Every structure is written in C-alpha cells, then in structure tokens.
Amino acid sequence: AKAWKAFKLSAVSSFTYVETAGLLFAGKLVGDSARLTRTVSDPNTDGLDESVIDRVGPRLDPRAVAGRLTGFDDAQRVAMAEAVLRAMSMTQDFARLVLLTGHGSTTVNNPHASGLDCGACGGHTGEANARVAAAILNDPGVRRGLAGKGIDIPEDTWFLGCLHDTTTDEVHIFDADDLPA
C-alpha cells in the first residue's frame, strides 16, 4: 500500500503510468484510423433518422425565425447569383450539370484524421453555402433575372450542392433527387 501511494504521488511515475496505459489503446487507434472500429460513420448525421436527413436543407424564402429575419428576396437572390457566377467567371457555355462543392471533414476521435481537418471555415463545412448557391441558381425567377444581366443559363443546366470531405476524400452530392428528368 505504501509503494502504491508513493507511486501515485510521484510526478515522474504518473507520467510513466499514463504513457504506458496509452499503449493499451494502440489497437483501437489503429482500427479507428483504418475505419475498422469507427463507432460513428458520419458525425454530422449520427443519431438522425433518414427521413430527417432527407428533409434537412436550405430554406430561401424570407421569414422570421426566433426574431431574426432569414432568407432572401428575389432581388437579393439575383444579385447573389450574378456575383457568384461572375466571381467564378461562369457567365457562358454552361455544362448540363454543375457541381458547386464546398469542403469540410468528419473526424471521430482519431488523431491522424484530426491532423487532416480543415479549420479555414472556423470548424464549419461549406455544405450550406454550396446548397444555398445551387438552390438560388436553379430558381427559374433568378435565371430570368440573370438573363436580363447578360447571363443566360440553359434550361437543361442544373446546379447541385456538394461537399468534399477532406479527411476521407469522399464527395457527398446533395439534393440529387431534385434533378429534372
């Protein structure tokens, strides 16, 4: 009992104990890194029912939420769409399918993957921006407004919001069910 008490009170032995105990988790660390024992497949949707995940998405109409105005009116949408397209030099020769891709990462208690996380967006992904931009650019009223500004988007062009997971190098495509036939 005296030896254990002396061990607990010694700073050097405490460090040695913690470091040695950490070796017991080496197998789990390797398994999590290789996605063999990962407890959560996607931390952004873990615990959400599929029907909820399918309904989650941007709402563009102006409205008040908890005392704050959200959404965009028609003039704001056209101005944003024009600014986005001109900033990307996309004002003509549109492809049939345009993927607007934000980036982010998903990490679950994995030191290796955490090292690949991107902090450029303050810990938030670019999903919302990509999805909102796609929704605005697919709006027929916005397209009419853009035509008046010299940007003609063909009727068969469709914009999709996507998210590039920089940790796994996967690309998630959102709202693909909304693609016209």
What is the rounded average pLDDT of the residues 38-54? 67
**Strands 63-65 and 97-104, sheet pairing:** unpaired
Residue 86 has pLDDT above 90, yes or no: yes
Give the pLDDT of residue 118. 62
C-beta neighbour count of 121 within 10 angstroms: 13
* Tokens found for residue 112: 């290796």
For CA atoms 136, 85, 162, 125, the dihedral sign is negative
Phi, psi of 65 (to 5 degrees): -130, 115
- Kindly indicate the confidence band of residue 10, based on its pLDDT and cuts at 50, 70 and 90: confident
Q: What is the residue whose two structure tokens read 């996967």?
A: 170
* Tokens found for residue 3: 């030896």
What is the rounded average pLDDT of the residues 141-164? 96
Instruction: Please state the pTM of the whole predicted model.
Output: 0.68
CA-only gyration radius of the chain, Å: 24
What is the rounded average pLDDT of the residues 70-92? 95
Q: How many CA atoms lie within 13 A of 130 on its CB side?
A: 21
Q: What residues are paired with 165 via a beta bridge?
A: 104, 170
* Measured distance CA(142)–CA(81) in Å, rounded: 7
Residue 39 has pLDDT above 70, yes or no: no
Q: Where are the beta strands (DSSP E) in 6-151?
A: 63-65, 68-70, 97-104
Residue 145 has pLDDT above 80, yes or no: yes
For CA atoms 68, 72, 75, 76, the dihedral sign is positive
- Kindly indicate the confidence band of residue 68, based on its pLDDT and cuts at 50, 70 and 90: confident
175 in Cβ contact with 131 (< 8 Å): yes
Can you give the length of the chain in residues?
181
How many percent of the chain have pLDDT more than 90? 39
